[in-house]
Structure 1
Amino acid sequence: MAGDVYTVAGGKGGVGKTTTAVNTAIALQAAGRRTIVVDADLGMTNLSELLGLDHEPRLHDVLAGDAELGDAIAEGPRGVSVLAGRGTLESFAEADPSNLRPVLRALRRSYEAVIVDTGAGLSHETLVPAGMSDGIVLVTTPDEVSLTDAKKVGDLAERVDGSIVGAVLTKVRDDIDVSAVGDELGEEILGVVPQDDEATADEPLVVTSPDSYAAQAYRRLGTKLADRIDDPTVERPVES
């Protein structure tokens, strides 16, 4: 049985898409689901830096036709697999985003969960995984600009037959009405990541600061996605 692909997307930079993707992937791996996190933010890749990995080759090499997919997969924290990119202009120019589709198809045959980190805004490398995902997780802060941009991404994703699973709110202060934010966004709130000043350790928080409120929120999100993966009633896209 093929695994599930979940695309982590959002309209605004700096809202915590990569942090959400990484921590959720590790939480899923810890929950017993064989998981890989993919850095599909081809222009501003930072997954390898976030996790302190120095593995070659990388996703950009695979997309350029210069490397085999299996050779580009590294082992990350707590056994999660990582397919990182390379943050150079030359690599970005040579990588073909359309090759993301066969890459993700291959990964879903080997993993129970494929978590795809995408760049800010609307781009080809965001729409490709969004269109073939089992679910899209929107990431946004509660501020108006971020919410507006997230809604735009959600609207466009649905036009390419992407299915929004729900949203993750990050950098949430105590005075924020989460229910009201969910109503404005028009999506189920899957997780609330507080503005956690105690979580000062390096990423990933589920490993380095496991007792922080933020880490607990990501573990709960991982549990929700694990339950969804196990649910046979969830409608999934048909491979073309």
Structure 2
Amino acid sequence: MLAIAGGKGGCGKTTIALGVGQALGTPTRRSLVVDTDRDMPNLHRRAGVDPTPGIADITVSAEPTTVAKRATAVENVDVLPCQDATEAAVDNAIGTLPQRDRPVVLDCPAGAGPDAARPLRAADRTVLVSAPTRQSLTDTAKTAAMARALDAPPVLTVLVGSDGSVDPSRLLSCPETVHVPSVSKPLESDRAAAKYVEIANVLAKRNT
């Protein structure tokens, strides 16, 4: 499982999660993007689906793949919203997510608190998302340290709204960076879509 994490809310984690999910998915092997942010559950809005059913509705007889809905804002992606989910419901959902049959992307809460730690414990790798500002990068460094401590090492930094002039590698100790330009509709822009594919290619390379 891949965690999309960062230090500040509003830096573009959810959009990156959906864009990467689209780049990793195919018509026959759709990605599953899961909202794990109980305080700001906005994946369903970005994906263009209803907020329910979602994580709170997962049971023994209703597994994640049967509850998930097809995103309308991106292709080849199913989403699990987090509306009205308790901590226990998030833990249950993460524990029952499919591990092998499709790419799974966790849209994490911002920061380095207990809620952000929950999905990172289950993830295999982390993509750090930040704005190209000192404050955002400093906060993201705390998230990076937590991801390493929880055995979900950061493999890539994504700077959103970046012209490529900022190098976060020394602060975040992350091997590679992808700069996503500022565009008005990031899930519809060809420029942004090319960056999502670049992210997916870096992930594939670092998984070999």
* Structure 2 partner of 1:216: 194
| CA-CA distance at 1:191 after TM superposition | 1.6
The structure with more radius of gyration: 1
What does the per-residue CA deviation read over 1:72-124, in whole Å, with 9 as the maximum and x for residues that have no partner? 211123231111121xxxx25xx124x43442343233633110001111233
Aligned residue identity for 1:72: V
The amino acid that maps onto 1:187 is C
Q: 2:141–2:171: 8 Å Cα contact kept in structure 1? A: no
TM-score computed with the length of structure 2 as normaliser: 0.86
Correspondence for 2:10 among 4, 14, 29:
14
Separation in structure 2 between the aligned mates of residue 183 and residue 37 of structure 1, nearest angstrom: 30
Residue aligned with 1:78, SS: coil
| Residue 156 of structure 1 pairs with residue 149 of structure 2 | no
Maintained 8 Å contact 2:55/2:81: yes
Contact 2:155 2:203 (C-alpha < 8 Å) held by counterparts: no
User: 2:64 matched to 1:69?
Assistant: yes
Letter matched to residue 161 of structure 2: K
Higher helix share: 1
SS of the aligned residue for 1:149 comes to helix
List aligned pairs for 1:1-240, cutoff 5 A: 5-30=1-26, 33-54=29-50, 56-62=52-58, 68-76=63-71, 77-86=74-83, 91-92=84-85, 95-97=86-88, 99-109=89-99, 111-173=101-163, 176-178=165-167, 181-196=168-183, 200-201=184-185, 205=187, 208-209=188-189, 211-212=190-191, 214-228=192-206, 231=208
What amino acid is the match of 1:74? K
* Aligned equivalent of 1:237: none
The alignment of Structure 1 onto Structure 2 pairs a total of residues equal to 206
Q: In structure 2, what residue type is equivalent to 1:188? A: P
Structure 1: give runs of 5+ residues left out of the alignment. 232-240
Deviation at 1:70, TM superposition (A): 4.0
Contact persistence 1:35–1:80 (CA under 8 A): yes
Cα RMSD (Å): 2.6
Shift of 1:162: 2.5
Deviation at residue 67 of structure 1 after TM alignment: 6.1
- After TM superposition, the structure 1 stretch with the greater mean CA deviation from structure 2, 21-30 or 74-83, is 74-83
- 32 and 149 in structure 1: CA distance in 2 versus 1, 3 angstrom threshold: farther
Distance 1:85 1:127, change over 3 A: same
Percent identity between the two aligned chains: 31
CA contact (8 A) 1:10 1:153 kept: yes
